[in-house]
Amino acid sequence: MSKTIAILGCGWLGLPLGGRLVDLGFVVKGSTTSAPKRPKLSEAGIQPYVFKVGNSIEGSIDDFFVADILILNIPPGRRNPKVEQEHPAQVQLVIEEAMKGGVQQVVFVSSSSVYGNYNGTVTEATPPQPETASGRALAQAEQWLTAQSLASTIVRMAGLYGPHRHPARFLAGKKEVKNGGAPINLVHLEEAMEAVIQVIQREKWNEVFNICADDHPSRATYYTAKAKELELPPPEFAKEDSYKYKIVSNEKAKQELGLTFRPLVT
């Protein structure tokens, strides 16, 4: 009998991931906050549910959480001044509902922003030292989740890019951009999806994985080259003697999940 996977958050990452899991033979339920998006989920073979997670769950969850595995993919709002309080509470609310529904395993989509800038290489064993409110929110949510009785795995994604989300557009034409010499940490949508799929297929539970490309060109090198590829005005970087950075190691993900990563610069 096929396992049932519930994906909370069928957006840019969750929707194509759900379609891929359907193709692999899983029964997939997916949530969206917008009723007009229901047909897109149905077209991908995903059973659609419409509700929103805030201070409470707004809308009808029906049997959404009656599933074997939950993929929790609700990023913290970077512009929310209360994100450090609200996002961990939302994760707790969702997990409590999931446990009521009988979910046994959770994949939590987190971010490499939980590390902060170490001016060196970070691995899964590096203690989180987040420097942003959203990073601190994710670190709190991770800590709470791992203390629960569920089997949970955390995938810490580097900066995501892919279709309709090209990195060059983020900085094109901007002036006095800081940290031009800092190495970047990015991962393509395809590798992000494959990471989640491999966690599930290989049953890698109660683990943490960094998901990031192999290479780490400088911000100035990468964003200038990509802007030129798209015929966009390249950014202008400030002249700085020092900068803050981290290099996210993907060795564990390559060894234990069998992942390979496309180069950022060709």
Contact indicator for 95, 145 with CB cutoff of 8 Å? yes
> Domains plus CATH for the chain?
4-163+185-214+247-257 (3.40.50.720)
The one-letter amino acid at 134: S
Distance separating the N- and C-terminal Cα atoms of the chain: 44
pTM of the model: 0.96
Give the pLDDT confidence score for residue 64 in this predicted structure: 98
b/e per residue 115-127 (b: at least 16 CB within 10 A): bbeeeeebebebe
What per-residue confidence (pLDDT) applies to 77?
83
User: Which regions of the chain are under pLDDT 50?
Assistant: none
- Residue 1's pLDDT is what? 63
The DSSP-derived string for 35-96 is GGGHHHHHHTTPEEEEEEESSSEEE--TTTT-SSEEEE-----TT-TTHHHHHHHHHHHHHH
| pLDDT tens-digit series, residues 88-106 | 999 999 999 999 999 999 9
Secondary structure class of 243 (helix, strand, coil): coil
CA dihedral 153, 157, 161, 164 (to 10 degrees): 50
Position 79 scores a pLDDT of 83
User: CA-CA distance, 144 to 248, in Å (whole number)?
Assistant: 23
Q: HSE, CB side, 13 Å, CA atoms: give it for residue 232.
A: 19
Backbone angles phi, psi at 32, to 5 degrees: -140, 155
